[in-house]
Amino acid sequence: MFHCHVCGGHTAHPEVVNEIFTTEGRLVQVVGIPAEICDRCGEATMTRETTESIRLLVHSAKPPVKTVPVDVFAFAAGGGVPALVREQPEKPYGN
Ligand SMILES: [Zn+2]
């Protein structure tokens, strides 16, 4: 029976997902992974067999299907909010 390792939920549904992994300091995305999605928290769980296939895939000499640039943001508590978000909207009738 399904048992979510995050929330302990017991029901899930199959879904094909995309996941990002870090391997040897390299960021890789694997698309089209069959997974079980927890109905309660949405955590994706893969079978041991699938996980092993992913491991072999990202360590293989096989070229990726495509390469994309990645934007990296550092989360900083307080003061780390981008200026765009921090700005107050202009007062429509201000003087
Ligand atoms: Zn869950």
Residues 38 and 15: their CA atoms lie apart, in Å, by 10
How far, in Å, from the CA of 19 to the mean position of ligand 1? 17
How far, in Å, from the CA of 91 to the mean position of ligand 1? 44
How far, in Å, from the CA of 36 to the mean position of ligand 1? 10
- Domain residue spans of the chain: 12-86
In Å, how far from its chain's centre is CA 38? Answer: 15
How far, in Å, from the CA of 10 to the mean position of ligand 1? 8
**9-66 pLDDT tens trace:** 999 999 999 999 988 888 899 999 999 999 999 999 999 999 999 999 999 888 999 9
How far, in Å, from the CA of 82 to the mean position of ligand 1? 32
How far, in Å, from the CA of 46 to the mean position of ligand 1? 13
Contacts 24+ apart (CB under 8 A), 77-81: none
12-86 adopts what CATH topology? Answer: Ubiquitin-like (UB roll) (3.10.20)
The tokens describing 81, both together, are: 């909010």
Helices (H), the chain: 48-59, 83-86
Report the predicted TM-score, pTM, of the whole model to 2 decimal places: 0.69
The three-state secondary structure class of 60 is coil
